[in-house]
Amino acid sequence: MKVSGFSHITLQVRDLKTSLEFYHGILGMNLRHHGRLDAYLEWGSAWVCLVERTEAGQQPGGFAGMDHVAFYIAEDDFKEAVAILNKHQVEIVRGPVQRGTGWSVNFLDPDGIQLELHTSTLDERMEVWV
């Protein structure tokens, strides 16, 4: 697979307002989008997504914490990467699916940690995120 770098991390948070006070207010991350239950922040070349989860919407294994880690892959290499995941019977939990202007596939590592391959940048995501 021709992954070219880190894309983003998505964190489940208990209270979006409190988390924004920390990530934006204290750490100084650049706020790019603030929705009702999510926020996108930029920190250097990486982006961080905060998602407020209710107990019913939480990921297995925990309430707050890491939801998934995403790695950037060129769109030209995306289908081949998905084929490799399928060939090795890696458990795919979402996708492949078009999200915004890019493609994503989420899958689990042997310990159940969710990883994502994603083909768009934060600027491209923000162009279509409402």
Summarised one tens digit per residue, pLDDT across range 77-106 is 999 999 999 999 999 999 999 887 889 999
What six digits make up the tokens of 110?
């042997």
* Known catalytic residue at 124: no
- The total number of structural domains in the chain stands at 1
| Its pTM surpasses 0.85 | no
Tens of pLDDT, residue by residue over 16-67, are: 999 899 889 987 889 999 999 999 999 777 888 999 987 645 555 555 677 7
Cβ burial, residue 21 (10 Å; 0-12/13-18/19+):
exposed
Distance, in Å, from the CA atom of 118 to the CA atom of 45, rounded to the nearest integer, reads 15
CATH number of the CATH domain containing 76: 3.10.180.10
- Straight-line distance from the first to the last Cα atom of the chain, in angstroms, rounded to the nearest whole number: 32
Alpha-carbon distance 86 to 20, whole Å?
Answer: 37
User: Active site residue: 42, 52, 116, 124, which one?
Assistant: 116
Range of the domain at 119: 3-128
